[in-house]
Chain A
Amino acid sequence: MTNKENWLESAARRAERETWTIGWNLSHLAELEGISSHEFAAELKCDTATVQWLSICKCPGAERFAEDVEQIASRFSLDVKRLAGLIRRANAVTALADSGHTTSAGMFLAARDREDEDKS
């Protein structure tokens, strides 16, 4: 493991404790769906290092969501729609968790299935 990969992985893990990061929301989604950064990477069609970089980015705010997602997607050469879908799903899970609502993995997996159907 190179030095950069070493600190990047640590930084991404540390980002999961910061509420303003994408990593915070992705960690909630990962926990709920029982998946890892490898699955996120597969979904975004990128490598795990890109998911780690993504984790330390600021989560797009509701008021300029599209603009922020485009900027992030452009920076890391990601598909805008895939990224927007993932961030929306992660934000929804986190919002429900924050509001004290119980969330079920099935509900969000079903939501993702619908999202996938919409894409195809």
Chain B
Amino acid sequence: MQFPNSEAEITLHQRILAGDPVAPADLFAHFVEPLMSALRHDLRCDSENARDSSIDALFDYLRSPTAYNPNRGRLCTFLTQIAKHKVVDRIRSRSAEVRREQEFSSFVEVRESAPNEKMERSVEAGKLWGKIEQVVENEQDRLALALILDGERSTEALAEALGIEATTALERQRAVKRHRDRLMKILERLGEKLRDE
């Protein structure tokens, strides 16, 4: 579906300025689908974002139609610009939301996996953890070991447990690997010792 031609656009704009009660419905009928197509094509955004941003753009225009000046360009261009801003705003807002959720879930994962919450569920596990505590004195190492034993593979979670503050993701990944290898060696040695006993 394409945008109406410039004559039809001007007529519609004049009807909106004149307070025609049906003009807003006509605006939606002629502009929502071409706007959605333009947004999906130009910004590669998802359908939901394209739909909601198109609708918001039309309501913005209808709230203050005098903001559009026909001498400066086509109504479809004006509306597409507003809609594109709306898409970007939505993406930014969603990214911030996802970031907040990830931060929260990493925190929760670390808390839930704390040694005394998981390892002491059985007497045997408790005894084994006691042995680990004897050889691993550092609290951060203990927390990281508990996470590893609990099956945690996330670099982020381990980095946080180990207190690694690397500037880049690659550095963080390398540091976590280095610590993980060190802790696994400690476990190996402990395993050999327990076997000998």
Contact residues of A with B, CB < 8 Å?
Answer: 3-4, 6-8, 10-11, 14-15, 18, 20-21, 53-54, 56-61, 68, 71-72, 75
Contacts of A4 in B (CB 8 A): 33
A6, A8, A61: the one contacting B19 at CB < 8 Å is: A61
14 contacts between A and B (CB under 8 A): A7-B33, A7-B36, A14-B52, A57-B22, A57-B24, A57-B25, A58-B19, A58-B20, A58-B23, A58-B24, A60-B21, A61-B19, A71-B20, A72-B22
B interface majority secondary structure: helix
A49 vs B125: C-alpha distance when bound (angstroms): 63
Contacts of B24 in A (CB 8 A): 21, 56-58
Contacts of B51 in A (CB 8 A): 6-7, 10
Contacts of B19 in A (CB 8 A): 58, 61
B56 at the interface (CB under 8 A from A): yes
A interface majority secondary structure: helix
A71 and B21: CB pair below 8 A? yes
Q: If A56-B24, A56-B25, A57-B22 touch, does A7 touch B59 (CB 8 Å cutoff)? A: no
A20 vs B59: C-alpha distance when bound (angstroms): 10
Per-residue CB proximity of B163-192 to A under 8 Å, as 1/0? 000000000000000000000000000000
Least Cβ distance of B42 to chain A in Å?
Answer: 18
Per-residue CB proximity of B28-69 to A under 8 Å, as 1/0? 100011001000000000000001101110110011000000
Least Cβ distance of B59 to chain A in Å?
Answer: 6
Q: Which residue of A lies closest to B26 (CB)?
A: A75
Contact residues of B with A, CB < 8 Å?
Answer: 19-25, 28, 32-33, 36, 51-52, 54-56, 58-59, 62-63
A21 vs B59: C-alpha distance when bound (angstroms): 10
Contacts of B33 in A (CB 8 A): 3-4, 7
Least Cβ distance of B23 to chain A in Å?
Answer: 7
Least Cβ distance of A79 to chain B in Å?
Answer: 17
**Residue of A4, A58, A59, A60 contacting most chain B CB atoms (<10 Å):** A58
B23 and A14: CB pair below 8 A? no
B22, B28, B55, B62: the one contacting A75 at CB < 8 Å is: B22
Given contacts A4-B33, A53-B25, A58-B21, 15 further A-B contacts (CB under 8 A): A3-B33, A7-B33, A7-B51, A8-B28, A10-B55, A11-B55, A14-B56, A18-B59, A21-B24, A56-B24, A57-B21, A58-B22, A58-B24, A71-B21, A72-B21
Least Cβ distance of A99 to chain B in Å?
Answer: 23
Contacts of B23 in A (CB 8 A): 58
A59 and B21: CB pair below 8 A? yes
